[in-house]
Amino acid sequence: MDISPESISALRQSFEDKLNEQNEVFHPMDLAKINNSDSWLKRFLIHTEGNQEEALSMLWNVCEWRKSFGVNEISESNGTVRIDYLEEGIMFPHGVDKDGKLMFIIQCKLHFKASKDPEECKKCAVYWFERMERLTNGDQITIFFDMMGSGLSNLDMEFTNYLINLLKMYYPAFLNYIIIFEMPWVLNAAFKIIKTWLPAKAVKKIKFLNKQNLNEFVSKESIMVSWGGEDNYKFNFEPETKKVEETKKKVHFAETMEVKNVSGDTRDIVCMPKEFKLKINPSEVLVFNKDNNNGYNELMASLTFVNDFKDPIAFKIKTTCLVKYKVRPSTGTLTPQESIKVTFVLNGMSIKQTDVMRDKFLVLVIPIVDTKDVAEMWKIQWETKEQHILKCKILNENETVNTWNSYDKNHNNDLEQKVDKLMNVVTTLEISNRVLSQHMRYVKYSLYIILLMCLFAFGFLWAVYYHK
């Protein structure tokens, strides 16, 4: 699909306008990418078939997700991703397909859902996606599911759904093919469900292949020995070696960064003063604990904000997951040395430690230098904005709390229900297969006996006839 430079510029300008209007804070590296990379913006327009409104919405959602998930911080060098998971070789990039696109190989037989932390598996997937984007300069990839030797114990519908959502929602125009290699018949029902998660144009990209026709979609030089080819590659994890200039460009939230906008001028994306105006006590970590003083058995946390500045300040609290939390108050003003208690409440749902550890709150602070309306001050004080990132945890990580005692609804989501149905179907098929196999053995043995009896009868009749 042809995307004109004018369309790319229009998308960039629309994002700039929305950013200024909503006063949102995104990661500086993502903002720099939007300002400097036409090819990245072009992918959003290709993904949405040139629809500017949908492309803008997707771009905005991607920036929100990248900030909340901490995509730019994921690296094997800082402990944000499990090195032991990466070294197992369950998934890795290697070889190219028939179009010369890098293949992302997933060795299904090595993955056992019960033995893995699902959140860490997701981080590994994002790590590889980001690394492949840098390796290919944003070119498309082919996902290769190597299903040789896999079975029901290797089936992970949740992780497969996560990979699909990454491609649908956060990595536009990134997929070339999905190759399913040597799929066992017992998993046919699973992939019928997986197909329903894909848009129609993506379903056409799924290719079910075996050793006989693999060369139709995979480069001959990239067909490994285990697939019937000559490539004797053995995976060995090697840390990414980034270019020097890329390392120099890396920017953290606590740094000042300038990027050029369409008109050519520059403006600060994030600028934090050396000394914070807002003091947060006891720390910038929200520790949620059970509150038994109300009828809902809620998980709550509280912090005290203190204005340690000579002038009044205004604060605003944002979160990566609005539906999960209530904050009281979420905005306010503080005179010099004034303090206020802020309460954070987890809304009604079953909560685990892993559910909240990836959530964060962003506290924005600006000085109030005159009597102007505070809402207007948020717009004009962009360059003096201060920010604090609050992390979350539960006091007892082994505790799972149902925050509504009367909450007796079915907690299974659509995916879990589909998996349950799938497992029932697969179990029924396996039982039927065993019964059928047993019946076939009986039939085979019966035929052997009948054949022997016929041979015996024929021999007996022949002997009687011969002696006559």
**Rg (the chain; Cα; Å):** 30
pLDDT grade for 408, boundaries at 50, 70 and 90:
very low
Tens digits of residue pLDDT in 324-377: 788 889 888 999 999 999 998 886 555 666 667 777 888 888 888 665 577 777
Q: Which CATH class is domain 74-227?
A: alpha beta
428: its two tokens:
């029924």
Task: For residues 202-207, give the mean pLDDT.
Answer: 89
> How sure is the predictor about 288, in pLDDT bands with cuts at 50, 70 and 90?
confident
Judge whether 346 and 288 are in contact, CB under 8 Å: yes
- Average pLDDT over every residue of 278-306: 79
Read off the pLDDT band of 464 (50, 70, 90). confident
382 compared with 175, residue with greater pLDDT: 175
CA dist 458 → 272, 428, 446, 453 (Å): 101, 44, 18, 8
Between residues 117 and 387, the one the model is more confident about:
117
Is residue 406 over pLDDT 90?
Answer: no
Most confident of 123-137, 314-328, 400-414, 433-447: 123-137
- What is the Cα–Cα distance from 267 to 382, expressed in whole angstroms? 9
User: What confidence tens digit (pLDDT) does each residue in 141-165 have?
Assistant: 999 999 998 888 888 888 988 999 9
Per the DSSP assignment, residues forming a β-bridge with 142 are 103
pLDDT band at 403; cut points 50, 70, 90: very low
Rounded to 10 deg, the angle between the 118-136 and 157-165 helix axes is 40
Confidence check: pLDDT of 436 > 90: no
- What pLDDT does residue 105 have? 97
Residue 175: band (very low, low, confident or very high) from pLDDT cuts 50, 70, 90: very high
Would you say residue 397 has pLDDT above 50? no
Model pLDDT for residues 15-65, shown as the tens digit of each residue: 999 988 887 888 989 999 999 999 999 999 999 999 999 999 999 999 999
3-state secondary structure the chain: CCCCHHHHHHHHHHHHHHHHHHCCCCCHHHHHHHHHCHHHHHHHHHHCCCCHHHHHHHHHHHHHHHHHHCHHHCCCCCCCCCHHHHHCCCEEEEEEECCCCEEEEEEHHHCCHHHCCHHHHHHHHHHHHHHHHHHHCCCCEEEEEECCCCCHHHCCHHHHHHHHHHHHHHCCCCEEEEEEECCCHHHHHHHHHHHHHCCHHHHCCEEEECCCCHHHCECHHHCEHHHCCCECCCCCCCCCCCCHHHHHHCCCCCCCCEEECCCCCEEECCCCCCCCCEEEECCCEEEEEEECCCCCCEEEEEEEEEECCCCCEEEEEEECCHHHEEEECCEEEECCCCEEEEEEEECCCEECHHHHHCCEEEEEEEECCCCCCHHHHHHHCHHHCEEEEEEEEECCCCCCEECCCCCCCCCCCHHHHHHHHHHHHHHHHHHHHHHHHHHHHHHHHHHHHHHHHHHHHHHHHHHHHHHC
List the structure tokens of 454: 């016929």
What pLDDT, on the 0 to 100 scale, is given for residue 455? 87
Whether the pLDDT of residue 307 is over 70: the answer is yes
Looking at per-residue pLDDT, the higher value among 6 and 382 belongs to 6
**pLDDT number for residue 330:** 87
**Mutual angle of helices 188-197 and 414-467, in 10-degree steps:** 150
pLDDT band at 180 (very low <50, low <70, confident <90, very high): very high
* Cα 429 to Cα 180, 195, 425, distances in angstroms: 21, 20, 6
**CATH classification for the domain delimited by 278-394, as one of 3.40.50.620, 3.30.470.20, 3.40.50.1980, 2.60.40.10:** 2.60.40.10
Question: pLDDT at position 87, please?
Answer: 93
Q: Give the residue extent of every domain in the chain.
A: 5-72, 74-227, 278-394
The pLDDT assigned to 412 comes to: 42
pLDDT recorded at residue 371: 53
Alpha carbons 227 and 210: distance in angstroms, whole number: 8
Cβ atoms < 10 Å from Cβ of 381:
18
Q: To the nearest whole number, what is the mean pLDDT of the chain? A: 80
Average pLDDT over residues 288-305: 75
